[in-house]
Amino acid sequence: MPLMKDEGYEKVLKNNINEADMKCASCGWSGKMKIVDLGDVTENVICAFVCEKCGDKSVNFFEKMCDKRGSVRIECNFDSTEDLHREVNLSQLASVEITSENLSFKLSSTYPSIQNVESFLIQGKDQIKNLCGKEDITSGACGKVLGDSSVSKETCEKKLDDIQNLINNPKFKMTINDDFGLSRVAPVGKNVLELRDADVNELNDGKVKHIFKKKTQ
């Protein structure tokens, strides 16, 4: 989108700002991360977060690298402990949503990372523990499991049990949305780093489906 003579740059930036749920790395408070896409002038993205509770601030500047096939949505349906060991390459700013019969939560990624499926469940568990005041944050990803910090301890304990049950007896859906198109979920036993440029047929199996979408679609 070109910058018009009668349109200030501040207005252009405002139109390119999005928000994502994010947990403060210092105190665990759930807030909003501002994401500024500078695509009008450069292939970069700025991510800024200010915690309203403790005042912690962070600003990160990322190079906007994209897959030529477009954005990717990865739909996974897992039902075995073997699936928990699948490797995941999560791109910066990608979102992860996990849903089951008794539980639903979202995570967002500020930095690129490689982890296994089980780690997302552990991150959700850590967030609930922090919300309940049981222990400090230990996970690297940012997100929000429970939207209200005033939830009862009984609710927290129930959610902890629900996540532990998913770890012990996996049966859940995991969905990853990545505008950059760089995230991947590897087949069991495969190295996810070797699959960045892989064909869809090589990426997908009976439980995982990578869906690429061009921006024009």
Q: Are residues 59 and 79 in the same domain?
A: no
In a domain, residue 46? The reply is yes
**Coil, helix or strand at residue 121:** helix
User: How far, CA to CA in Å, does 152 sit from each of 125, 149, 157, 202?
Assistant: 16, 9, 9, 45
* Token pair recorded at residue 5: 């003579």
Q: Are residues 110 and 183 in the same domain?
A: yes
Is 108 within 8 Å of 96 (Cβ atoms)?
A: yes
* Total number of domains in the chain: 2
In a domain, residue 140? The reply is yes
Q: Are residues 50 and 88 in the same domain?
A: no
Q: Are residues 59 and 76 in the same domain?
A: no
pLDDT in tens, 63-74: 657 788 889 999
Q: Which domain holds residue 57?
A: 9-63
Amino acid code (one letter) for 170? P
Q: Are residues 31 and 83 in the same domain?
A: no
In a domain, residue 82? The reply is yes
* Token pair recorded at residue 204: 């997908």
Mean pLDDT of the chain: 79
Predicted model pTM:
0.69
- Beta-bridge mates of residue 95: 108, 177
Asked if pLDDT for residue 139 goes beyond 60, the answer is: no
pLDDT in tens, 166-209: 999 999 999 999 988 989 999 999 999 888 889 999 999 999 99
pLDDT, position 216? 61
In a domain, residue 3? The reply is no
- Beta-bridge mates of residue 174: 76, 98
